Amino acid sequence: MKNIAVIGAGTMGNGIAHTFAQFDYSVHLIDISEDSLKRGMATIAKNLDRMVAKEKISEAKKTATLNNITTYTAIKKGVKNADLVIEAATENAVLKSKIFKELDVECNKNTILATNTSSISITQIAAATNRPEKVIGMHFMNPVPIMKLVEIIKGYSTDDAVMETITELSKKINKIPVAVNDYPGFVANRILMPMINEAIETLYNKVAGVSEIDTVMKLGMAHPMGPLQLADFIGLDVCLSILNVLHDGFKNPKYAPCPLLVNMVMAGKLGVKSSEGFYDYTESRKAEKVAKMFL
């Protein structure tokens, strides 16, 4: 397995492409937007420059990594001869099903189709194809080149041999794969998102302020980042989407998104990506000062 296609050049997609390319895989990075591809490649180059500056890789390794990536705006051309396709598009079940339906038509019959979804059912996505046994979840953590974990999610029909292949592949790119069954939120987000939502509820009920809540979790629970700052980093729209998947999937009110989170997303305050969330990021990506709350 040497030819990897990645669908989507956003944060997760370019991180996945970077990681495979750095381990000498031939990577086709695919996005319908040429501008997105340019931004994705610029991000990869910037991250590689940072690694060179820290003497983690050589300049020659940086050049080789970039040369291992080819960009495409058409799925048909991009997935040709791919051994594995990893979809990293927007967290939307309808969009993902549409992409997988097209991949099923355009890919070789032996190609494994993976999704980087953080919460959507692998079984549901696989149902859009005629090869559900070859559909699997590969949930990478952000930032992909740095974070070690990959949740390997087995859909209802995923073949055991496919699970084994993807598990071994993950190890070859220096990740630690963890096998997970196909239930809403899997493991990472089933545990993380209720914690983030509870932190937002704590703020919403005026128990404490933003920095106070994050300080308690950092100093009291040894978390490297507080839950509200982490929510900003993930994207408040993404947090809301995952909570909605959990709420719809389990029909349990404990997963209902906090009204403050809903209001902030409606107001376009999405965190780092919009320069304002629970913190203000207008001057840098660091959490500088507490932004206006939409109570």
Both tokens of 160, joined, read 């055991």
**Helix 236-250 vs helix 259-266: crossing angle, to nearest 10:** 130
| Residue 223 appears among annotated catalytic residues | no
Torsion over CA: 81, 87, 88, 94 (sign): positive
Both tokens of 119, joined, read 């919460």
Q: What is the DSSP string of 189-249?
A: HHHHHHHHHHHHHHHHTTSS-HHHHHHIIIIIH--SS-HHHHHHHH-HHHHHHHHHHHHHH
Give the active site residue among 47, 68, 116, 118.
Answer: 118
| Residue 139 appears among annotated catalytic residues | yes
Give the active site residue among 14, 36, 189, 197.
Answer: 189
Closest CA to 129 of 148, 155, 151: 155
Give the active site residue among 87, 91, 106, 151.
Answer: 151
Query: Residue 87: beta bridge partners?
Result: 7, 115
Both tokens of 93, joined, read 């079940």
> How far apart (Å, rounded) are the C-alpha atoms in residues 283 and 109?
49
| Residue 68 appears among annotated catalytic residues | no
Give the active site residue among 121, 139, 170, 197.
Answer: 139
**Residue 264: exposure state from Cβ atoms within 10 A (0-12, 13-18, ≥19):** buried
| Residue 118 appears among annotated catalytic residues | yes
Catalytic positions, written as ranges: 118, 139, 151, 189
